[in-house]
Amino acid sequence: MKKHKFFTTFEEEENWLNDMAKQGYQFIKKKSFGYEFVSAPPENQTIRIDYRSFNKQEDFEDYCALFEDSGWEHIAGTKSSGYQYFKRTSHPGSEDIFSDVDSKAGRYKRLADMWFMLAVCFLPILAALLTTNMIDYGQFLEPKSLYLTDGLWALDGAAFWRAFLFETPFVLFRSITAIIFPASIFLYLYFAFRANKKYKNSQENKII
């Protein structure tokens, strides 16, 4: 079974995954915003999430082994996925995958840095589109100007509809392109702000 969800905090995501296990759905894989589950006996399990990426596979394997030695099984995530999911095993182990508040809060700092870097990566693309006039936001004030066919609006009858319907998909593509890049930058910066605020609050209050 697959489900699609998006969470702004690790705690919300952890609680949801644990609730799914109580309903008989064992989490096994995540791709983007999609979660994959398999049917299993209902279980009161504890899942914790870390956010960490690695350049080398050996470092990633050492990281997983360290948690396994503390009683936590790595159940989802790759060396470059960022999100790492751990399930507490039945044998004795630590109560949490984090040893203190600072290390637990650190995942929010790493997450904030990731969202910020994504926003920065989109800025040069948007700037290039603007400087080459591939995007002109002034055209949205006069939608007819989005159509580039000479004399289109002077045509009538079948000739008009053929030209209009032919160019409309290209107009929609240009319009979506003009919207998606600034919208993505805004969302990435918003998520970065939320994650960084969570990190700072946890540092100030020593709770998370």
Q: What is the pLDDT of residues 129-173, one digit of tens each?
A: 888 877 777 777 788 888 888 888 888 889 899 999 999 998 888
Whether residue 110 sits in one domain with residue 59:
no
Which residue range(s) make up the domain with 119? 101-205
- Domain count of the chain? 2
Side-by-side strand order, sheet with 34-39? 2-4, 34-39, 25-31
**208/206 Cα distance (integer angstroms):** 7
pLDDT at res. 205: 67
pTM of the model: 0.78
Coarse DSSP helix, strand, coil percentages of the chain, rounded to the nearest 5 percent: 55, 15, 25
Residue 94 lies in a domain: no
Residue 6, in any domain of the structure: yes
Task: Using the 3D structure, point to which of 54, 88, 122 is the last residue of a domain.
Answer: 88
**Are 110 and 57 in the same domain?**
no
Pair 155, 114 in one domain: yes
Say whether pLDDT at 79 is over 90: yes
110-132 pLDDT tens trace? 999 999 999 999 999 888 888 88
Same domain, 39 and 129: no
Is 117 found in the same domain as 174?
A: yes
Domain boundary among 88, 116, 139: 88
Whether residue 181 sits in one domain with residue 154: yes
Q: Answer whether residue 45 is part of any domain.
A: yes
Flag whether 118 is in a domain: yes
Residue 93 lies in a domain: no
95 within some domain: no
Does residue 125 lie within any of the structural domains?
yes
Condensed to tens digits (0 to 9), the pLDDT of residues 7-62 reads 989 999 999 999 999 999 999 998 877 899 999 899 888 999 999 999 999 999 99
Out of 61, 88, 115, a domain closes at 88
Same domain? 134 vs 79:
no
Instruction: Of 150, 193, 153, 146, give the one whose Cα is nearest residue 171.
Output: 146
Instruction: Determine the 3-state secondary structure of 110 from DSSP.
Output: helix
Tell me: do 121 and 77 sit in the same domain: no
d(CA 53, CA 70): 20
178 and 83 co-located in one domain: no
Ranking 5-19, 87-101, 103-117, 172-186 by mean pLDDT, the lowest is 87-101
